[in-house]
Amino acid sequence: MTGERDDDRRRPSQPPRWTRAQAARIERSADTVAPVIEPPAADPAADLHVWDTWLLRNRHGELADVDGWRVLFSLTAPEKLLPGKRHDVAEIRFFYSRNGTDWHGGETIFRGDALGQRQWAGSALYDGGELYLYYTAAGDDAADELNYTQRIAVGHGGRFVGGEEGVRSEGPWTHEVLLEPDGEWYETESQSRAMIYTFRDPWFFTDPATGQTCLLFEANTPVPPGSDRCGGDGAQQEFNGSVGVAVSPSGDPLSWELRPPLFDAVCVNQELERPHIVVHDGRYYLFVSSHMHTFAPGIRGYDGLYGFVADSLRGEYEPLNGSGLVVTNPASVPYQAYSWIAFPHREEILVGSFYNYREYAGESLDGIADLSEAEQRRRFGGTLSPTIRVAVDGDRTRITGTLAHWDVPTPAEDLPDSPEYVPPEGTD
Active-site residues, by number, are 52, 273
Residue whose CB is nearest to ligand FRU in the complex, by number: 120
- DSSP structural state of residue 93: E
Site string for ligand FRU, 46-75 (x = CB under 6 A): ------x----------------------x
Binders of ligand FRU among residues 336 to 375 (CB under 6 A) are 338-339
Using the rule CB under 6 A, which residue among 28, 93, 274, 345 binds ligand FRU?
Answer: 274
CA distance 60 to 208: 8
* Closer residue to ligand FRU, CB minimum distance, 97 or 150: 150
- For 55, 70, 72, 351, 408, the CA distances from 126, given in Å and listed in that order, are 10, 11, 12, 21, 17
Instruction: Tell me the closest approach of the beta carbon of residue 157 to ligand FRU, in angstroms.
Output: 23
- For 45, 51, 397, 413, 422, the CA distances from 99, given in Å and listed in that order, are 17, 21, 27, 10, 28
> At 307, which helix (H) or strand (E)?
strand 304-310
Instruction: Tell me the closest approach of the beta carbon of residue 119 to ligand FRU, in angstroms.
Output: 8
Residue 156 engages ligand FRU in binding (rule: CB under 6 A) = no
- CA-nearest of 171, 154, 157 to 248 is 154
| 281: phi then psi, degrees, rounded to nearest 5 | 55, 35
* Closer residue to ligand FRU, CB minimum distance, 264 or 273: 273
CA distance 174 to 113: 9
Instruction: Assess contact for 93 and 48: CB atoms under 8 A.
Output: yes
* Closer residue to ligand FRU, CB minimum distance, 116 or 222: 116
The side-by-side arrangement of strands in the sheet containing 104-108 is 104-108, 91-97, 70-78, 48-57, 118-127, 130-138, 150-156, 174-179
* Closer residue to ligand FRU, CB minimum distance, 136 or 397: 136
Binders of ligand FRU among residues 240 to 269 (CB under 6 A) are none
- CA-nearest of 326, 320, 315, 185 to 242 is 185
Instruction: Tell me the closest approach of the beta carbon of residue 396 to ligand FRU, in angstroms.
Output: 26
Residue 201 engages ligand FRU in binding (rule: CB under 6 A) = yes
Binders of ligand FRU among residues 99 to 138 (CB under 6 A) are 120-121, 136
Using the rule CB under 6 A, which residue among 28, 59, 151, 200 binds ligand FRU?
Answer: 200
CA distance 183 to 25: 32
CA 133 centroid distance within chain = 15
Instruction: Tell me the closest approach of the beta carbon of residue 292 to ligand FRU, in angstroms.
Output: 13
* Closer residue to ligand FRU, CB minimum distance, 132 or 203: 203
Instruction: Tell me the closest approach of the beta carbon of residue 289 to ligand FRU, in angstroms.
Output: 6
Instruction: Tell me the closest approach of the beta carbon of residue 400 to ligand FRU, in angstroms.
Output: 25
* Closer residue to ligand FRU, CB minimum distance, 136 or 236: 136
Binders of ligand FRU among residues 302 to 341 (CB under 6 A) are 338-339
Instruction: Tell me the closest approach of the beta carbon of residue 86 to ligand FRU, in angstroms.
Output: 7
Cross-strand pairs, 401: 389
Size, binding site for ligand FRU by CB under 6 A:
14
* Closer residue to ligand FRU, CB minimum distance, 83 or 319: 83
CA distance 152 to 391: 33
- CA-nearest of 168, 160, 155 to 202 is 155
CA distance 336 to 356: 5
Using the rule CB under 6 A, which residue among 29, 62, 81, 87 binds ligand FRU?
Answer: 87
Instruction: Assess contact for 323 and 25: CB atoms under 8 A.
Output: yes
Residue 219 engages ligand FRU in binding (rule: CB under 6 A) = no
* Closer residue to ligand FRU, CB minimum distance, 201 or 238: 201
Using the rule CB under 6 A, which residue among 140, 273, 303, 407 binds ligand FRU?
Answer: 273
CA distance 400 to 239: 33
Instruction: Tell me the closest approach of the beta carbon of residue 215 to ligand FRU, in angstroms.
Output: 15
Residues lying near ligand FRU in the complex (CB under 6 A): 52, 75, 87, 90, 120-121, 136, 200-201, 218, 273-274, 338-339
